[in-house]
Amino acid sequence: MNKLLNFLSSVKVTVVLLTVLAALSIVGTVIPQQESPATYARLYGESTARLFHNLGFTHMYASTWFVSMLFLLGVNLVVCSSRRIPKTWKFVKAVPTLKLRDYTQMPFRRERTYKNLEDNWKDNVTRILSGRFSKPLKNELEDGTVFFCQKAPWSRMGVYVVHGSVLFLFIGAIVGAVYGFKGNVNILEGETVDSIQLRGSRSQYPLGFQIRCDDFTVEFYETGAPKEFRSDLTFLNDGKEVMKSAVRVNDPVSFRGITFYQSTYGSTLGDEITFDLVNNASGEVYTISGPPNKEFEMPDGKGKFRIIDFQSNLMSGGMSFGPGVMVHLMRIEGHGPPFWVVRDFPELDKRRKGDFTFILKSFKETHYTGLQANRDPGVWLVYLGFVAMLIGFPITFFLSHQSVWVQMTRSGNKMKLIVAGTAHRNRQAFIKRMERFWEDFSLELEGEERRS
């Protein structure tokens, strides 16, 4: 058991784990995270994309690799701290034996001899030490008196506060990686959804409640850039309204532990679209209308067509062509390649030289809101870790456990004063402080000597 504990508390293990975590973080930075499988296939090819997915490189910070390294580093930190805390705590609670000695091993030591002091000099020493450090302990011996005081002994525990903060960060990250998720959902105005599309996955995640987009509005600057877009949402449980809230950019809303952000918006076809199909041989025009998600019969009965894409402003070669739909024509004799039908340029489809020329006469357009949904149950542990770290760092780097001794002994008709002290950290600054204390303290006793 001791061998295992020695291994887990080894600094070498800490260095190895930190190195592995750094390498995995580099992979997670270089490779885009939680994108769609199609994105990885386009960037790296299908075989490489499949390999990256299997290795967890496409979701590195939630992968078994990364979570395991965080867990092992947390164990390493716990074992190291638990083996050192008892010794440190003994230093915090320890009180030295107050006896006469020369203090020659102390980082700071000064001495001075006085002929006579006032009778209440002990009270004055107690008062001065209490004001500069803390109320001193006193031991009156046959040959002299020893005072001892200390300041901020608990500062020795600051490093363990930092260790604890790091553990909170690790635990929060692990909880978020295992039990949290990120996803997206597009909701049409008036539409209700009950699931989201998880990032980096084709699977749908059931929310356990419903979201309805009551209204979507967007404001633009004079340049045409979006100024603000807002979604008015209603959250429902089993069809009953529970909460209404507006979501704006940088102003999310949370419901049942899931936070929804306004991430994008767009427009799509409404419930009706109308085409004129012109027979290129006879010139006869056929008007066809219907919902855009259905398949339409061709006028000659020799096939069907359907709409597979819509752009509110089709761009090509740096030019704007206005709204258009992509049509997939499924003729009995075979399927042709999809083609665009643009409302503002009806003559473009003539170049296709098909049996019919498609003209987009009218359509209903509706807006949709794009929401990003995040759940991170470990975020409060992360916040707690940051707070603990903000407390622990100043204690660790700016405070020190300071111990001060004042000893007064009588030698004949004279009194010998020794002031000594030490600090467990930043001793140069402590010595400078003690020099100022020694100057003030000795001058005050010198005044007592003159008065006596």
**Cβ-based neighbours of 87, under 8 Å, separated by 6 or more:** none
Instruction: For residues 137-151, give the mean pLDDT.
Output: 93
Mean pLDDT of the chain: 88
pLDDT in tens, 93-123: 998 999 999 999 999 999 998 887 777 889 9
Q: What integer pLDDT is reported at residue 65 of this predicted model?
A: 84
Q: Rounded CA gap, 239 and 146, in Å?
A: 79
Other CB atoms within 10 Å distance of the CB of residue 316: 11
Q: Rounded CA gap, 72 and 4, in Å?
A: 13
Helix (H) or strand (E) holding 47: helix 46-55
Structure-block tokens of residue 192: 């209700």
- Amino acid 226 reads P
What torsion, rounded to 10 degrees, do the Cα atoms 431, 436, 438, 441 define? -150
- Amino acid 167 reads L
Residue of 428 and 413 predicted with greater confidence: 428
For residues 452 and 117, is the Cβ–Cβ distance under 8 A?
Answer: yes
**pLDDT at 90 exceeding the cut of 90:** yes
Q: Rounded CA gap, 192 and 194, in Å?
A: 7
Per CATH, the architecture of 95-152+400-451 is what?
2-Layer Sandwich (3.30)
Residue of 443 and 85 predicted with greater confidence: 85
Query: Alpha carbon 288 to chain centroid distance?
Result: 53
Give the range among 115-124, 288-297, 392-401, 404-413 with minimum mean pLDDT. 115-124
Closest by CA to 149, choosing from 126, 121, 168, 120, is 126
Whole-number Cα distances in Å, 293 to 309, 337, 399: 10, 19, 70
Q: What integer pLDDT is reported at residue 102 of this predicted model?
A: 92
Q: What integer pLDDT is reported at residue 438 of this predicted model?
A: 93
pLDDT in tens, 212-231: 999 888 887 777 677 788 89
Query: Alpha carbon 210 to chain centroid distance?
Result: 28
pTM comes to 0.68
Q: Rounded CA gap, 312 and 267, in Å?
A: 7
Structure-block tokens of residue 32: 């885009």
Closest by CA to 172, choosing from 375, 380, 386, is 380
Confidence of residue 450 (pLDDT cuts 50, 70, 90): low
3-class SS shares of the chain: helix, strand, coil, % to 5: 40, 40, 25
Give the HSE-up count for residue 287: Cα atoms under 13 Å, Cβ half-sphere.
6
Closest by CA to 277, choosing from 307, 297, 295, is 297
**Cβ-based neighbours of 35, under 8 Å, separated by 6 or more:** 58, 199, 200
Whole-number Cα distances in Å, 29 to 23, 43, 170, 176, 376: 10, 15, 19, 19, 20
pLDDT in tens, 364-389: 888 888 999 999 999 999 999 999 99
Q: What integer pLDDT is reported at residue 226 of this predicted model?
A: 74
Residue of 331 and 303 predicted with greater confidence: 303
Q: What integer pLDDT is reported at residue 340 of this predicted model?
A: 92
**Most confident segment among 42-56, 147-161, 338-352:** 147-161
Q: What integer pLDDT is reported at residue 224 of this predicted model?
A: 65
Closest by CA to 191, choosing from 311, 373, 367, 372, is 367
**What DSSP character marks residue 202?**
S
**pLDDT at 452 exceeding the cut of 70:** no
**Sequential DSSP letters for 168-181:** HHHHHHHHHHHH-E
CA angle 118, 122, 123 (to 5 degrees): 95
Strand segments (E) across 132-283: 137-140, 144-151, 181-188, 192-198, 204-220, 226-237, 240-248, 253-255, 258-279
**Sequential DSSP letters for 355-398:** SEEEEEEEEEEEEEEEEEEEE-TTHHHHHHHHHHHHHHHHHHHH
Domain chopping of the chain, boundaries = 2-86, 95-152+400-451, 179-265+369-388, 269-367
